[in-house]
């Protein structure tokens, strides 16, 4: 996958817009970070993943999921896009979008999906 793949997917959801975060391309929902590209150009910073789930993902697929000491205390996992498949990334992304989008937008999206 690439960040453009992530962007194309997420921009189909209500209230998602392009932005930047720490000087890198990002997607935001109502001005809150949905996801961003890490400075290495291949890793996705994916918030909204609790530490216990993150640890399980890293253990099961260390070539795809990882984290650095910087993110150790945050509910965030890093995803190597070059190793990731849409079927793995999309559910995490969609779940986080649902927490950031307005209830109205989620309800309308669910009605059409």
In this structure, are strands 43-47 and 76-80 parallel, antiparallel, or unpaired?
antiparallel
pLDDT score for 113 = 76
Phi-psi region of 60 (alpha: psi -120 to 50; beta: other; left: phi over 0): alpha
Q: Which helix H or strand E contains 27, and what residues bound it? A: strand 24-29
Residue 32, pLDDT score: 97
Which pLDDT tens digit goes with each residue over 4-62?
A: 999 999 999 999 999 999 999 999 999 999 999 999 999 999 999 999 999 999 999 99
Q: Which helix (H) or strand (E) holds 34?
A: strand 32-37
Average the pLDDT over 69-78 and give the result. Answer: 96
């Amino acid at each position: 996958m690439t960040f453009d793949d992530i962007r194309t997917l997420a921009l189909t959801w209500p209230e998602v817009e392009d932005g930047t975060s720490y000087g890198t391309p990002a997607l935001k929902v109502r001005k809150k970070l949905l996801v961003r590209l890490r400075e290495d150009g291949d890793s996705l910073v994916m918030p909204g993943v609790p530490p216990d789930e993150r640890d399980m993902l890293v253990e099961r697929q260390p070539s795809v999921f990882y984290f650095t000491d910087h993110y150790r205390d945050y509910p965030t996992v890093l995803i190597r896009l070059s190793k990731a498949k849409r079927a793995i990334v999309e559910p995490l992304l969609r779940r986080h979008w649902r927490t950031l989008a307005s209830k109205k937008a989620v309800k309308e999206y669910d009605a059409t999906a």
